[in-house]
Amino acid sequence: MSASTIKKILIANRGEIARRIIRTCREMGIATVAVCSDADRDAPFVLEADEVVPLGGLRPAESYLRGDAIVEAAKRTSADAIHPGYGFLAENAEFAALCEQAGVTFIGPPSNVIAAMGSKIEAKRRMQAADVPLLPTIEVSGQSADKVLREVEKVGWPVLIKASAGGGGRGMRIAHSARDFATQLETARQEAQAAFGDGTVFVEPYITGARHIEVQVFGDSHGNVVHLFERECSIQRRHQKIVEESPSVVLDDELRSAMTSAAVRGAKAIDYVNAGTFEFLLTPQRKFYFLEVNTRLQVEHPVTEFITGLDLVRLQILVASGEPLPPEVFDVEPWGHAIEVRLCAEDPRHDYRPVAGKFNQFAISSGNGLRVDSALDDAGEVSPYYDSMLAKIIAHAPTRAEASAKLARALRAAKLHGIVTNRELLVRVIESEEFQQGATDTDFLVRHNPQTLGAPLTDASSERVHAAVAAIAGQARRRREAPVLRSAPSGWRNNPSQPQTVRYIGEHGEHLVEYLFTRKGIAVRVDGQPLDGVHLQLATADLVRLQVAGIERSFAAQQLADAVYVDSSLGSSVFTEVPRFSLSQDAAVAGSLIAPLPGTVHEVRASVGDQVAAGQVLLVIESMKLLHEIAAPQAGKVAAIGVERGRQVDAGTVLAVLEAEVADEK
């Protein structure tokens, strides 16, 4: 077995990829150095590294994009090499050159290769010379708008306008006709300039119903170049991948051989060294065309690691040490099927809006063919300054059907308490008929409404059961915290009494839970309807064992301030408890309109000085994705508005003050 001559690696990245690199370094006996921003001072990857160099700042430009500071940190810690991960400086030719000049090994391809492939236009020229299939390409720079439009008309509509530099869906626009071409062209230019500092764009045909297939390649400094099979990454939102798998169900042996051979041929033509990915578009007519080369490790590399049994980070380090690719790379045969999804802190039902905040519980099962590469441990903060990806969950099994079932089950069972994620959307994609039949393409998330895909996995009936569990667990928690009689059964009364009640707001609406403990057990009603065959086996603040309609289940419960999370085999629910009592009249200004529950001010429909009628809606509060209207209890004049749109409010917050109308005296 080859041994690396590199003894210490500085990781110029953060989050899950930094942890991933640290894991392999430990297995190879290599020391690690982390760099971090102020926002990441207590992040798991920082705690796991052997040494840490704080870079300061919060945003990437103040920290992870400071190439000179990172190289200086490598020198100061005597690191032999820098691993850039992906994103940030991973495909920055100037940074790679800076490492080379400083005598620090850059774990990636040479800077000149990165520079050439960093321009998609230049990459296409190189690939054309290597006889790699290309789509017709129209270069925009140096041509008049009229000439460009004439060339586009020859290609046919629709067309895709793409930034030559960078990626990730930025600087990409679709034009469907000559009417919108100029607008989309200018928008793409502006996005490219803002994102990459380079407004150069080009135009190529937009292929509907296409698939995105990529080939993993590896080269060493001894002239060896191999492929490690393909990955399909067709399911994308806004040109960003969220589901990846290998092998692709659409490739037969002949097509797979043609694509992998083209990738190896292209890599050899540019003297490629280290890990890289050749991306192709596969048309419904089974013709493939080169898109670009990613000169780095890919986010989805665990898919390849599962089917080959290889550690790609280890191979990167060996090759960067000057070693030839080890023998096992040339003899590897793929086994089974692997699928990866990207779990992101974003809300698909609100236009994929990124979400920041704190997870009080972040738990996803791993082992037995399930791998979780995560930026978080069992809890943690999600920063607003970086990418929304939280973790990658990868399933491997002998068949695609088993892998997808294993992955969907792990996602459904995950405990994600604190902020919104795209978990529901991922489950519905994996379980969809199209995915199960292998009939997906890059337009999947265009055809399917994210409002539907991102809706709760738990149905209304299951949510009612979860509401009952939330009430029982809440009672147990209050009993545990009681100063006296803590050993008494939760909610038990010496004499029969009226049911205890609690109201919750969940994804499917508001629920009234009524429960009564007796010597015979417990009786529960939710929304006026009794739960059939209820038998309570166990009730603690964190765990309820409950039988309903002859089926016994365990329910995990967690209360965080006003939110209650319940997880079971029925799914996951989150509730806001409606306060039993609003703010007392003595504590609020006369005429105050009070927030009935915690939430976000969605809309303010009145201004100070407005004359309003009784029942007129003055504000709207959004809580747990439901909108709650706050209306004037009587006619009057708005004397004060205490909140603005977007503000977070607690239950009892004074939203507005209304002066009642006074009748004229005669």
Any idea what the CATH number is for the domain that residue 22 is in? 3.40.50.20
Question: Does 282 map to a domain?
Answer: yes
Let me know whether 506 and 474 are in one domain: yes
Least confident of 189-198, 201-210, 234-243: 189-198
Is the preceding omega at residue 302 within 30 degrees of 0, hence cis?
A: no
Asked if pLDDT for residue 486 goes beyond 70, the answer is: no
Any idea what the CATH number is for the domain that residue 643 is in? 2.40.50.100
Let me know whether 150 and 45 are in one domain: no
Contact 374, 364 (CB under 8 A): yes
pLDDT band for position 145 (50/70/90)? confident
Question: Does 113 map to a domain?
Answer: no
Question: Does 3 map to a domain?
Answer: no
Residue ranges making up the domain that contains 626: 592-660
Any idea what the CATH number is for the domain that residue 416 is in? 3.30.470.20
Asked if pLDDT for residue 666 goes beyond 50, the answer is: no
Among 91, 107, 123, identify where a domain stops: 107
Q: What number is the average pLDDT over the span 464-479?
A: 95
Let me know whether 364 and 421 are in one domain: yes
Let me know whether 240 and 368 are in one domain: yes
**Taking all residues of the chain, what is their mean pLDDT, rounded to a whole number?**
91
Question: Does 128 map to a domain?
Answer: no
Among 145, 174, 205, identify where a domain stops: 205
Let me know whether 436 and 554 are in one domain: no
C-alpha 389, offset from chain centre:
4
The pLDDT value given to residue 665: 46
Q: What are phi and psi of 117, to 5 degrees?
A: -80, -15
Q: What number is the average pLDDT over the span 507-524?
A: 92
Q: pLDDT digit string (tens) for 343-401?
A: 999 999 988 888 888 999 999 999 999 999 999 999 999 988 898 999 999 999 999 99
Asked if pLDDT for residue 191 goes beyond 50, the answer is: yes
The owner of tokens 């994600």 is 416
Any idea what the CATH number is for the domain that residue 488 is in? 3.30.700.30
Let me know whether 598 and 491 are in one domain: no
Q: What are phi and psi of 4, to 5 degrees?
A: -75, 140
The pLDDT value given to residue 485: 53
Contact 567, 556 (CB under 8 A): yes
Let me know whether 93 and 140 are in one domain: no
Report the distance separating Cα 462 and Cα 455, nearest Å.
14
Let me know whether 61 and 13 are in one domain: yes
The pLDDT value given to residue 587: 43
Among 453, 473, 506, identify where a domain stops: 453
Let me know whether 469 and 443 are in one domain: no
Contact 527, 511 (CB under 8 A): yes
Collapse the DSSP code of 219 into the 3-class scheme (helix H, G, I; strand E, B; otherwise coil) and give the result: strand
Asked if pLDDT for residue 442 goes beyond 80, the answer is: yes
pLDDT band for position 626 (50/70/90)? low
Question: Does 119 map to a domain?
Answer: no
Collapse the DSSP code of 303 into the 3-class scheme (helix H, G, I; strand E, B; otherwise coil) and give the result: helix
Q: What are phi and psi of 288, to 5 degrees?
A: -115, 150
Let me know whether 443 and 363 are in one domain: yes
pLDDT band for position 578 (50/70/90)? confident
Asked if pLDDT for residue 598 goes beyond 80, the answer is: no
The pLDDT value given to residue 621: 85
Identity at 227, one-letter amino acid code? H
Question: Does 293 map to a domain?
Answer: yes
In total, how many domains does the chain have?
Answer: 5
Q: What number is the average pLDDT over the span 406-432?
A: 97
Question: Does 123 map to a domain?
Answer: no
Question: Does 316 map to a domain?
Answer: yes
Asked if pLDDT for residue 432 goes beyond 80, the answer is: yes
Mention every residue, 6+ apart, whose C-beta is less than 8 A from residue 311. Answer: 24, 27, 305
Q: pLDDT digit string (tens) for 215-228?
A: 999 999 999 999 99
Report the distance separating Cα 345 and Cα 382, nearest Å.
8
Q: Which long-range contacts (CB under 8 A, 24 or more apart) does 70-78 make?
A: 70/10, 70/12, 70/35, 70/95, 71/98, 71/99, 71/102, 71/104, 73/10, 73/33, 73/35, 74/10, 74/33, 74/99, 74/102, 74/104, 75/102, 75/104, 77/8, 77/10, 77/33, 77/51, 77/53, 78/8
Contact 599, 628 (CB under 8 A): yes
pLDDT band for position 560 (50/70/90)? confident
Collapse the DSSP code of 152 into the 3-class scheme (helix H, G, I; strand E, B; otherwise coil) and give the result: helix
Q: Which long-range contacts (CB under 8 A, 24 or more apart) does 438-441 make?
A: 438/249, 438/250, 438/400, 440/211, 440/234, 440/235, 441/209, 441/210, 441/211, 441/234, 441/284
Q: How far is CA 351 from CA 105, 174, 445, 459, in A?
A: 41, 18, 12, 23
Let me know whether 262 and 407 are in one domain: yes
Q: What are phi and psi of 65, to 5 degrees?
A: -100, 5
**What predicted TM-score, i.e. pTM, was given to this entire model?**
0.86
Q: What number is the average pLDDT over the span 178-192?
A: 89
Let me know whether 489 and 569 are in one domain: yes
Q: What number is the average pLDDT over the span 50-56?
A: 98
